[in-house]
Amino acid sequence: MKTGSLVFALLLAAAPLGAQEPAPHAATHEACGAHDPGDIITPHITDSHCLEVPGFPKIWEPREVELPRWAPIHIGSHELDMSPTKHVVMLLVAATLACLILIGAARAQARHTDESGHAKGFAGGIESMVLFIRQEVALPNLGHHGEGYAPFILSLFFFILLANLLGLIPYGSTATGNISVTATLAIITFVVVELAGIRAQGIGYLNTIFYWNKDLPMWMRIPMFVLMTPIEIVGKLTKPFALMIRLFANMTAGHIVVLALIGLIFAFKSYLIGTAPLFMAVAIMMLELFVAFLQAFIFALLSSVFIGLIREGAH
Amino acid sequence: MRTLLRSLALSVLLAAPALAQEEAPKADLLSPSYGLMAWTLIIFVVLAIILSRFAFGPITAAVRAREKALEEAIAAAKRDREEAARLLDQHRAALDASRGEAQKLIADARVAAERVRSELVEQAHAEQATVLDRARQEIESEKSRAIAQLRREAVDLAIAGAGKVIDRNLDQAANRQLVESFLASVTPAAVSSSR
């Protein structure tokens, strides 16, 4: 635990605010439910080892349970703390829900197709969502013979969508509002994009990194190479960076606004004035519901656009 | 909208001092946790593999099969329609042909009937004429025979009457000649009227 907390402390030291307060406070694990009663926002939007669970009156009081802590795994000289956190649980729930919903829909669709030739009810709805993402979002942007990447885009969409939606229900938490999650998804997308480029262009893939324009005379080519190559590389890296920040910021900001508005209700301490933030919170919540779909859609759309762009570079 | 913005600004202002006081947890927001990143990677990769194998593959395959079935049905319908149109044309042509045939048959029959009728009429006319001729000839012959007989009877009667007279005084042959000449001057009509 000492080394893990050391890493944590180092991370904190990198952040401007964390620099003021040194590590010891963070090193001791806080008991669950022991945060500042005045701050309702931070525990909601940050990750922790505590999981809120629903309660039943008189049988099981609503409370927070502490998730198990595992010893860090050593990979070479680095160590990795794989203890499950709230967001890990939420990601697992989102993935399980995605499996249940989509595989269930696929089974039902197969059954309905046998019976009446087309999918009905819930399976039909899921089928039309899958078809929309596949036919209208993925395939037109992926370019020719891009069908192989469609399942990746679809998985991204449904995984992000369910993770977003889980943040909107009671006891849930927005895993996609955690920069680690969005960064990992962006890195996965980056790797897939670059691999797609290598697969589609072969040796020509190097042109997407090194600017070597054969139309230019040699005395122009070398300065342009020196000037443009860093821009190409930065351009490559900004795409996943934008994906990461967009999803993270949208999900976090929406939750902060909703929680701030709910906090205002208590801050006013008046039934009369308290109704105004209540309605605003409801409106923002509706907006959040839309944003949950929108951000999943945008992540999937941009990923397919990036894959399509790098694959088309060969032509 | 303005009140919303105002309240948002207010909430940010209210939260600002709290942000300044909170050190550790707030900074956590932007610092990556490698354990969570590893978890995300594992979960997403496993999810993508499972979903593409068991969900997206079957769904896409079923939709593609349905599209193919629809296309086949449409093609079959098109084929059937063309076939039906062809058959209809064929039947229409056959119908037209048979109608012409019937017209011709009727016309032929009418001509034949006309001919038969006129022949029959002609035959009847001819028969009638022959029957009439024969009747007229028979009447003629009957008449002449009756006249001859009547004349013989009259002669006989006259002779018988004259014989009675001449028996007494006259020469038979001279008297007879006298009576004959008288009878020759008398017409059968005068005889019948005098009788």
Contact A8, A26 (CB under 8 A): yes
Determine the residue among B5, B7, B44 to mutate to test chain A binding: the one whose Cβ has the most chain A Cβ atoms within 10 Å: B44
Instruction: Collect contacts of A26-34 with beta carbons under 8 A, ≥24 apart.
Output: A26/B24, A27/A2, A29/A69, A31/A66, A32/A63, A32/A64, A32/A65, A32/A66, A33/A63, A33/A64
Interface of A with B in 111-150 (CB under 8 A): 113, 117-119, 126-127, 130-131, 134, 150
Least CA distance to A279: which residue of chain B?
Answer: B4
| CA A303 to mean position of chain CA atoms | 13
Q: Does residue A34 sit at the B interface (CB-CB below 8 Å)? A: no
Q: Which amino acid is at B152?
A: R
Give CA angle at B51 (B46, B57), nearest 5°.
140
Asked if residue B185 belongs to a domain, the reply is no
Stretch 242-271 of chain A: residues touching chain B, C-beta under 8 Å: 252, 257, 260-261, 263-264, 267
Q: Distance (Å) from the C-alpha of residue B47 to the closest C-alpha of chain A?
A: 6
Give the pLDDT of residue A77.
78
Give the residue from B8, B164, B91 showing the smallest Cα distance to A257.
Answer: B8
B153 lies in some domain: no
CB A267 within 8 A of CB A278: no
CB A167 within 8 A of CB A174: yes
The pLDDT of residue A213: 76
CA angle A10, A16, A18 (to 5 degrees): 50
Give the Cα separation of B76 and B83 in Å (integer). Answer: 10
Residue range B112-133, pLDDT digits in tens? 999 999 999 999 999 999 999 9
Task: Decide if B80 is inside a domain.
Answer: yes
Residue B118 placed within a domain: yes
Among A85-89, A310-314, B44-48, name the one with the lowest average pLDDT. Answer: A310-314
Chain B residue nearest residue A264, CA to CA: B11
Contact list in A for residue B24 (CB cut-off 8 A) is 12, 18, 21, 25-26
Mutation target vs B (from A126, A178, A252; most B CBs, 10 A cutoff): A178
- Give yes or no for a contact between A149 and A293, defined as CB atoms under 8 angstroms apart: no
Residues A102 and A60 in one domain: no
Range of the structural domain that residue A97 is part of: 87-312
Q: Are residues A242 and A278 in the same domain?
A: yes
State pLDDT tens for residues A95-151: 999 999 999 999 888 888 888 877 788 888 998 999 999 989 999 998 888 888 999
Nearest to A181 by CA among A64, A53, A46: A46
Token representation of residue A94: 């989102």
User: Cβ of A184 under 8 Å from any chain B Cβ?
Assistant: yes
Q: Which residue has the higher pLDDT, B27 or B121?
A: B121
- Structurally, chain A folds into a number of domains equal to 2
Residues from chain A that touch B67, judged by Cβ atoms under 8 A, are: none
Q: Tokens 């946790």, residue?
A: B33
- In a domain, residue B172? The reply is no
Rounded to whole angstroms, the Cα distance separating A299 from A243 reads 7
ipTM, 2 dp:
0.81
Is B25 inside a domain boundary? no
Chain B, nearest residue to A80 by Cα: B35
| Whether residue A24 sits in one domain with residue A170 | no
Whether B4 sits inside 8 A of A109 (CB atoms) is no
Q: How many domains does chain B have?
A: 1
Any chain B CB within 8 A of the CB of A310? no
Are A75 and A113 part of one and the same domain? Answer: no
Q: Do A234 and A144 share a structural domain?
A: yes
Q: Can you give the pLDDT at residue B5?
A: 55
Nearest partner of A307 among A134, A149, A147, judged by Cα: A149
The whole-angstrom separation of Cα A118 and Cα B116 is: 75
Please give the backbone phi and psi of residue A101, each rounded to the nearest 5 degrees, phi first. -65, -50
> Pick the residue with more confidence: A45 or A104?
A104
Q: Is A198 found in the same domain as A270? A: yes
Confirm if A82 and B38 have CB atoms less than 8 A apart. Answer: yes
> Do residue A92 and residue A218 come from a single domain?
yes
Question: Is there a single domain that holds both residue A31 and residue A170?
Answer: no
* Rounded-to-integer distance, Cα B58 and Cα A129, Å: 15
Q: What is the pLDDT of residues A176-226, one digit of tens each?
A: 988 999 999 999 999 999 999 998 888 888 888 888 777 878 888 888 888
The shortest CB-CB distance from B63 to any of A92, A127, A154 is to A127
